[in-house]
Amino acid sequence: ETGVTQTPRHLVMGMTNKKSLKCEQHLGHNAMYWYKQSAKKPLELMFVYNFKEQTENNSVPSRFSPECPNSSHLFLHLHTLQPEDSALYLCASSQEWEMNTEAFFGQGTRLTVV
Amino acid sequence: AQTVTQSQPEMSVQEAETVTLSCTYDTSESDYYLFWYKQPPSRQMILVIRQEAYKQQNATENRFSVNFQKAAKSFSLKISDSQLGDAAMYFCAYTGTASKLTFGTGTRLQVTL
């Protein structure tokens, strides 16, 4: 357990559904991240929040909508997803948004879009 | 843009033996950090070892060590005295001035008795 908790662990949703992924950290970190992990592909950085402000949106489709109400919580709201969006979604946090800072990851949410 | 390449999709090692996982990267920056992350079946990525590019000395963490060749842009991970608990996906990662972690595609390590 690294202090980053993601819920739910597994999610199956239809293409017309709306769901949200939740990430929580109580490590006192100021930066939080969403990554997408697909089979046989490198982890893809989706969003970065630093001190609750979004600092990075890596050309992610608008059907993914992040929300960071405070430094401890990060959400990823999902709507009208496609089957190719099925993947493991990982949340991470770090002390600061700096290159030498270790990132701590959650266990991910395995998302299946049917 | 920076890229990270792991050319070994799968590796296997016998318990107590040594294995080396390869990683190469491409960058035009001179100041950066390199990492090896481990992802066990529990799916939680855990930092194994970190190397600062400005340091010539190779990083070491217990049974884990790296061979950092800056000119060749190579960053391999050596696991000594392999244990069953070392079985996992291993990801090489890079971060530079853009402060974004760029990952390779990973190497699945199997540890056999």
Distances (CA, A) of B97 to B1, B2, B32: 12, 11, 7
Of B42, B52, B101, the CB nearest to A107: B42
**What is the Cα–Cα distance from A31 to A93, expressed in whole angstroms?**
5
Minimal-distance CA residue of chain B relative to A101: B99
- Residue B29 contacts A, CB cutoff 8 Å: no
User: For residue A13, what are its two tokens?
Assistant: 């949703």
Residue A73's CB: how many other CB atoms inside 10 A?
A: 14
Distance of CA B35 to the CA centre of its chain: 6
Tens-digit pLDDT profile for residues B67-101: 999 999 999 999 999 999 999 999 999 988 777 78
Residue B50, pLDDT score: 94
**What is the Cα–Cα distance from A8 to B25, expressed in whole angstroms?**
34
Distance from CA of A45 to the nearest CA of B (A): 8
- Residue A105 contacts B, CB cutoff 8 Å: yes
Tens-digit pLDDT profile for residues A24-55: 998 999 899 999 999 878 889 999 998 888 88
Minimal-distance CA residue of chain B relative to A35: B101
